[in-house]
Amino acid sequence: MTPMSDTRSAKVRLYVEQPLGEGQTVPLSREQAHYLFSVMRLGVGDPVGVFDGHTGEWLARIADAGKRDGALVCETRTKPLRLPPDLWLLFAPIKKARTDFIVEKAAEMGAARICPVQTDFTNAERIRRDRLQAHAVEAAEQCGGTFVPEVCDLQRLSDVLDAWPEGRRLMFCDEMLAGAGAALGDAARGPWAILIGPEGGFSDAERARLRSLPFAHPVSLGPRVLRADTAAVAALTVWQQALGDWG
């Protein structure tokens, strides 16, 4: 639930789980009603942009505005669905605020799936998946996207690698390569994942395994050691420029 930063007919964009269509009524949750009516001070008849992650963006109008609930009616489709490239972001959760940032950044930068992974040097034993998913929703609302990436449950990196899907390549950001230059120039398009290591880096065993994987491409992110949240945005930029939808 975020005010838009550019000017279109609706100033507020809202992600809803219900499938949208012309004339469709969309009931509002208590939180959504509070945001639209109390925070943004909208009322009956005001326009709201809505998207469901599957059918693009729609212009809706407020049909009913209560204290704890309300409803929109969906009018016309204003944007087609735009899917991000088939890119997963795997990262080791770090301190709460920086983990929230990584999820927000991954959604803004166009990752299709966000996968927290536990590495040998990861401190986090669990994550709040629902809270991270809410950050992904808010980032999609903010950045004008029509798609919300799925946040997966925390898995062990070794389990993820054991079950690695055929045909998906892995860009693995190795701080031990510092200064060796990025190397995605002639890599093939198709399904990819990016793996960002934890603070403290990968263990020797993990690094050896990652280097031996036939689908893994080690890439350097320059001569300075980046924090995990910086590395996530930098890696997404490198990938989107070389193989994604920035071209």
Binding site for its own copies (CB under 8 A): 5-6, 82, 101, 104-105, 108-110, 142-145, 175, 181-182, 199-201, 220-227, 230, 233-234, 236-238, 240-241, 244-247
Question: What's the token pair of residue 70?
Answer: 């309300």
Instruction: Identify the H or E element spanning 172.
Output: strand 169-173
**Whole-number minimum distance, CB 243 to its own copies, in Å?**
13
Closer by beta carbon to its own copies, 142 or else 155: 142
Sign of CA dihedral 155, 157, 158, 164: positive
Cβ closer to its own copies: 167 or 247? Answer: 247
Between 23 and 247, whose beta carbon lies closer to its own copies? 247
In the bound state with its own copies, the residue whose beta carbon lies nearer, of 133 and 142, is 142
Q: How far is the CB of 199 from its own copies (least distance, A)?
A: 6
Minimal distance, residue 211 CB to its own copies, in Å: 18
- Tokens (6 digits) for 174: 């190795």
Question: Six-digit token pair at 80?
Answer: 């087609």
User: Closest distance between its own copies and the C-beta of residue 80, in Å?
Assistant: 12
> Tokens standing for 225?
């050691």
Q: What's the closest the beta carbon of residue 123 comes to its own copies, in angstroms?
A: 13
Q: In angstroms, give the least distance from the CB of 108 to its own copies.
A: 5
- Name which of 181 and 190 has its Cβ closer to its own copies: 181
C-beta of 244: minimal distance to its own copies in Å? 8
User: Which residues neighbour 74 within 8 Å (Cβ) at sequence distance 6 or greater?
Assistant: 20, 21, 22, 23, 24, 25, 26, 50, 58, 59, 60
* The three-state (H, E, C) secondary structure of 12-70, written as one string: EEEECCCCCCCCCEEECCHHHHHHHHHHCCCCCCCEEEEECCCCCEEEEEEEEECCCCE
Residue type, 151: V
Q: Which is nearer to its own copies, 45 or 247 (CB)?
A: 247
**What number of H helices and E strands is found in the chain?**
6, 13
- 13 versus 33: smaller Cβ distance to its own copies: 13
Q: How far apart are CA 109 and CA 237, in angstroms?
A: 7
Half-sphere exposure of 233 (CA within 13 A, CB side): 11
